[in-house]
Chains A and B, each alone.
Chain A
Amino acid sequence: MKRNRIPQFFIIVGAFLLLLAVVLMLDNVPGVPVMLLIVLRKGAIYALVAVSMNILNGFTGLFSLGQAGFMLLGAYTYAILTVPVENQALVYQRYPNGGIGFSVTESLGRVLGQPGLLLGVIICLILGGIVAGVFAYLIGLPVLRLKSDYLAIATLGFAEIIRAVVQYEKLGPITNGSNLLSNFTNFSNFHLGSLKLDTVMPFVFAGVCIWVITLIINSTYGRAFKAIRDDEVAAEAMGINLANHKRMSFIISSFFAGISGAMLAMYQASVQATIFKAAMTYEILLIVVLGGIGSISGSIIAAFLFVGSSEWWLRFLDNTTVLPNFNAKLLFAIIFAAIVVSIVFLVVYRQNKAQKSRPEAVGRGRKILSLKLSGVITLVVGTLLLLGDLRFLISPDLQVPLLRSGFRMVVFSIIVMIVVLFFSRGLMGDRELPDLFRTRHKRL
């Protein structure tokens, strides 16, 4: 074991550095689609917050829905500490003499230049995490006595309370009430010579944080978390202090949620309490579930896929599109039909094979297709889509049907539903990326 681990460590570090180099190149080579960079930036941040939620939900088995609240704390701590003094009057214009009168990044940046700016950002990111962690400790005292759904409701309530408190008029001179905080230090303030670092920075921060999380998960504490998840009574019998470990897991998860919240603020270059609603927690929960509860690499992959499809690849569905001529229409219809046919075929083929190989089906033989309900539904929906496609081809219209503003979210929801139906344990289950490359290897 010991012999194996050291090369693996170097492989991971090497791969990460290579990834950074690629991202740095993407950032600085002209002609790279901006949307790709945006998806990479936001994806890295969402990957971190999804992994932080996974510590709690996937590895410790505590179902918490407070992530947005902790992100809000991190984001606001970061933003309040880094608004430059000269901009404070502008940002806090509803509150005369608002703002804290100093800015960590500005002061450090003035003295030390770029390294000082970086140092300031790191300090403020960590402070954002610490504030979230302290609140997690306090809220954890009463709330962690609860289990499953009750814990979820309590943490959800906490997140809503935090949002209301931040928006409170009397706190306005610090939090700017319900108004936007902006003009603070963000990713575009960093340069390495003339190289832009907009996309590299989130990758570095998220990468380091996720690496630390992996270390924690693989340490004795991490194994204790997993033991609690699998069986609380057995874990306690083995001498694990339940209350301590649950609290620790809650605080670690919130700490990294705070950091990712601060990074989200940096990415947006502005922050407003209204966006940290329960809906944001659900987005993150969706990523965790889609990626696989208890899989760090699953959360990371799902985060990028989620951000990519919700922000980029599906956007064309929002525009009414008029095809230029009949040939384009024919091409469109054929591609659409090919996609539908291949997806239906894939589903039906796999399910047919799986059903036929089941022992109770062997004796019956004869049947050409044996499908579960989901297979039949796929077949029916596929046929209906093909008929619709044919109807569109025959009709004189050149405008693609259904495409209009709002349709994107419909398709997105359908895709999420399909993924959950067919990958009932998420894309990765509880496996990690390296597991996929190993030959069938049983885990304990």
Chain B
Amino acid sequence: MKKLLTVMIVLAMTLSLVGCGKSSNTSSKTLSIGVFEPASGDNGAGGKQETLGMQYANSVTPTVAINGETYNVVLKIVDNQSATDKAPTAAQQLVSDNVSVVLGSYGSGVSMAAAPIFEQAKIPAIGASCTNPAVTQNRPYYFRVCFIDPFQGSVMASFVKDQFNAKKAYVLNMLGEDYGSGLATYFANAFKKQGGEVKSEAFPEGTSDFSAYIQNAISYGADVIFAPSATTYASLIISQAASAGCKIPITAGDTWESSVILDAQKGTNLKVYVSTFFDENDKSGVAATFVSGFKAWLNADSQHKTDNGGNDIVAAVSALGYDAYMTAIEAIKIANSTTGEDIKNAMPKVSFDGVTGHISFPNGGDAAKSDAFIKQADNGVFKFVKRQSGAS
């Protein structure tokens, strides 16, 4: 009995603390935007970088005018723990916080798991880097500012054909990872359609020795390796390919635009190419302004810098996070309202120049993107190679 009592007391206290935490919002007019991102789990690192982009955007545009009144925009951040069983609760938390729009998430699975909850609550969600095509299909309340995996796969297929005149491709991804295996399939399909030949292999989770896979690629006589995978495996693949004397160019998708890849490639002669969402040397100047502003913002706060992985290299997902926030603000301005339904209806009218290119939603939930940007990792920096459009 006494034990039960103790538990009850502790519970009551915790609850009272919750009450305390919530009663602190007293400023005049506020509008909440939910940030639905992983801060822990497999995608914790990427999720944090994406959140940073949103936080920076919030510091650049902290207010929005609705009906002539100025609203302060407050970000409500929840951690979806990169797991589809934790995501619904995190999403529900945002719903009960009465957010007007939701941004995120990094990782398509959690976005798909949360979509029904946002839909039921009539809150539009704007994904930043969830590239799986299923995220927005049949989901009228889900939007996204990035391109999708089939597009990325076909872009990389036409890039390797144009650049290396590749006839044979070796495709490597992790078993059981939906992002990697999806992108690998789309690449393989597009490459075969151009008349190429593909050999696909998958490595199990936790693999640390890739020499056998690299030898397979060499003995297959591949002209190019396509290895969309998490960055932890990427650095192993690159360094072991270099030590095996492999001369085949290695290509991958957007996750590889990371300082980990630069460190791994540094000091080797390997050609490593990635497709990504933005180019800071863009003529419009939006991207250049973003990059310099974001770097200064990161360096001003040690916590932000730690969340970015301890350096001030701008990740593409941060840029997408920034664009997702700006898209939300544009939609709110057009809707002239704080209710989710109005904002959702305003989304098709959104049209502006973001960091990752022009953003508009002419056909449903996906932003119209015509090009991806190809960059090459070269001794510690990503060099811009070309804009590449998909196979026609």
Over the window 383-419 of chain A, the binary record of Cβ atoms lying under 8 Å from chain B Cβ atoms (1 yes, 0 no) is 0000000000000000000001110110000000000
User: Is B22 touching A316 in the complex (CB atoms < 8 A)?
Assistant: yes
Q: Which residue of B lies closest to A418 (CB)?
A: B10
Q: Determine the distance from Cα of A177 to Cα of B351 in the docked complex, in whole angstroms.
A: 37
Question: Is A33's CB under 8 angstroms from B96's CB?
Answer: yes
- Chain A residues, Cβ within 8 Å of B207: none
A residues less than 8 Å from B86 (CB atoms): 311
Asked if A34 and B96 make an inter-chain contact with CB atoms under 8 angstroms apart, the answer reads yes
Q: Smallest CB-CB separation from A316: which chain B residue?
A: B21
- Interface positions of B from 263 to 312, Cβ below 8 Å from A: 303
Q: Are B133 and A93 in contact (CB under 8 A)?
A: yes
- Considering only residues 124-180 of chain B, those with a C-beta below 8 Å from chain A are 132-134, 137-138, 175-178
- A17 interfacial by beta-carbon distance below 8 Å: no
Q: Is the Cβ of B20 less than 8 Å from the Cβ of A318?
A: no
CB distance from B193 to the nearest CB of A (A): 15
Q: How far is the CB of A135 from chain B (nearest CB, A)?
A: 19
| A contact residues, range | 35 or more
A219 to B17, CA, bound (A): 45
Q: CB-nearest residue of chain A relative to B47? A: A405
Given contacts A169-B181, A180-B112, A405-B77, whether A164 and B175 have CB atoms under 8 Å apart is: yes
> Given A178-B176, A314-B14, A316-B21, are A275 and B85 also a contact pair (CB < 8 Å)?
yes
Contacts of A34 in B (CB 8 A): 92, 95-96
Residues of B within 8 A of A313 (CB): 11, 14-15, 18
Consensus secondary structure, chain B interface: helix
Stretch at the interface among B1-9, B212-220, B331-339: B1-9
Contact call A406/B6, Cβ cutoff below 8 A: no
Q: Are B21 and A271 in contact (CB under 8 A)?
A: no
With both beta carbons as reference points, the residue of chain B lying nearest to A428 in the complex is identified as B3
Q: Which of B15, B89, B92 has the most CB of A within 10 A?
A: B89
Whether A321 is near chain B, meaning CB under 8 Å from some CB there, is yes
- Residues of A67-116 at the interface with B, using a CB-CB cut-off of 8 Å, are 87, 90-91, 93-94
Contacts A/B (CB < 8 Å), 24 sampled: A33-B96, A34-B95, A35-B93, A90-B137, A91-B134, A169-B202, A180-B113, A182-B113, A268-B85, A270-B113, A272-B109, A272-B113, A318-B39, A318-B79, A319-B76, A324-B26, A328-B24, A331-B20, A336-B17, A346-B9, A404-B303, A406-B40, A408-B79, A427-B7
Given contacts A93-B133, A328-B23, 19 further A-B contacts (CB under 8 A): A35-B96, A38-B89, A87-B138, A94-B185, A169-B175, A179-B178, A179-B182, A180-B108, A264-B85, A268-B84, A268-B85, A270-B84, A272-B178, A312-B93, A316-B22, A319-B76, A335-B20, A406-B39, A436-B1
The residues of A with any CB-CB pair to B shorter than 8 Å are 33-35, 38, 42, 87, 90-91, 93-94, 163-164, 167-169, 177-180, 182-183, 188, 264, 267-275, 280, 305, 309, 311-316, 318-319, 321-324, 328, 331-332, 335-336, 339, 342-343, 346, 350, 404-406, 408-409, 423, 427, 436
